[in-house]
Amino acid sequence: MTKGNWSKPMKNSQWIKVTGKCRVATMTITKQTVADQIAAYLHHEISLAQLVDWAEGALMDGELADRDAQTLSSVIARLGVADVRAFGLVWDDCEELLRKLGFLSRVEVVAA
């Protein structure tokens, strides 16, 4: 490092110190949040890969609603492995997961 640019790393370290104090707000994950993700998957609004990515992120970074944390973590964990061939995710699985969350599912058939 030359004498002329020795202060540049110092400026960056100050910036890091300042931004390090900031906190990223996390959204509390509720039964409704998880049910909405499953519904989006069933309506083909998101792919299985997107559902799995969401579930993995939710388990790592999400803040689960305290009163439902055990149920939420088990349902989200199940969604997080849905891309593994041994687990998969079929209609019956979605129906059961929704039931654990306190929701009922129904199918509506409409003309195309």
Q: Residue 26's pLDDT is what?
A: 65
21-71 pLDDT tens trace: 555 556 799 999 999 999 999 999 999 999 999 999 999 988 999 999 999
Backbone angles phi, psi at 19, to 5 degrees: -70, -25
Amino acid at 101: L
Residue 112: per-residue pLDDT: 86
pTM: 0.74
* b/e map 12-42, b = 16+ CB within 10 Å: eeeeeeeeeeeeeeeeebebebbbebbeebb
